[in-house]
Structure 1
């Protein structure tokens, strides 16, 4: 019993020593906190971009950077004609990590989604603007355009870049 009490007290003391307080959701961050967060995301994005580029270099398929900061295996992809708001699209996609392990068994799928009226991952929504009907593309997405610093609170942890295999149905 004394051992459990000692370990508990020791754990509490070590946790409180370096604990950083966070404002509640919707709370206000100081200017310094915002700067620290901005620098963290900038450094993380730079690091992920370098890791993704190294991964690309080892692939037999070519990937091309897009203006939104993700890569796609179709040349000139984001130079194509852009789909307009309020137009409809049906699509599905699978998520993979960079070990090429499929994260979810079933693909995410939407039928007759209308642009401007659905909320999707930033990279997926952007790619859907340029994909042709029936086309399938692979996106390499840094975490900032995927599930970011929170993950999806299911199988995807925070700050995880993803491979997304997207198909316009």
Structure 2
């Protein structure tokens, strides 16, 4: 019995000796300089992606128009339309493409009777759903900050990837 007690006390004491540097947990507090570095990185990435998307648009026959939220859509005056209100319902689907126009997922993302203010969606998709007409289909050109951002979707979409989204209100 004394041996078991001695081994237990020894193992507890050895657990307290931690020589590794402590790191803040995911979602932990960052310093001001860390936040400044992150902000500057996103600002530079967004400027780079905007230039790349505008160059891509220049090579297309279809016209795209910038929106107030920082994505492009193939419908002029799109985000000047009347907005759908919170609590209203919408059914929709969309396909995701990269800028090589390769479809990322075989099946579209689809939602039935989603209620505004109560569903979690990509920022650009949620914003576009506010202005889309029933039965209408639009194409969105979305910088990574309004898509899956710094982390990607942890499946097929890497971090910092701008997307083409073909959105349809059902």
TM-score bucket (shorter structure):
0.7 to 0.9
- The 2-side partners of 1:63 and 1:23 are apart by 43
Give structure 1 stretches of 5+ with no counterpart: 1-20
Instruction: Give the deviation of 1:26 after TM superposition.
Output: 2.0
Q: How many residues are treated as equivalent by the alignment? A: 149
1:84-103 counterparts in 2 under 5 A? 84-103=85-104
- Residue equivalent to 1:124: 125
Name the structure 2 match of 1:160: 161
CA deviation string 1:79-118 (max 9, x = no partner):
0000000000000000000000000000000000000000
- Structure-2-length-normalised TM-score: 0.86
Matches of 1:109 and 1:141 in 2, distance apart? Answer: 18
**Aligned residue for 1:15?**
none
What is the Cα-based RMSD across aligned positions, in Å?
0.9
Distance (Å, rounded) in 1 between the aligned partners of 2:111 and 2:60: 30
Structure 1 stretches of 4+ with a deviation exceeding 3 A read: none
Structure 2 stretches lacking a partner, 5+ long: 1-21
Name the SS of the counterpart of 1:123 in structure 2: helix
1:90 aligns to what SS in structure 2?
A: strand
Counterpart of 1:110 in structure 2 is 111
**TM-score, reference length from structure 1:** 0.87
* Matches of 1:22 and 1:158, distance apart in 2: 22
Task: Give distance in 2, aligned partners of 1:49 and 1:143.
Answer: 10
Please state whether the residue corresponding to 2:166 is helix, strand or coil: strand
Alignment of 1:48 onto 2:49:
yes
- Please say if 1:32 is aligned against 2:3: no
Q: Note the C-alpha offset of 1:23.
A: 2.6
CA distance in 2, matches of 1:107, 1:128: 16
Question: 1:25, CA displacement in angstroms?
Answer: 1.2
Q: CA deviation at 1:34?
A: 0.4
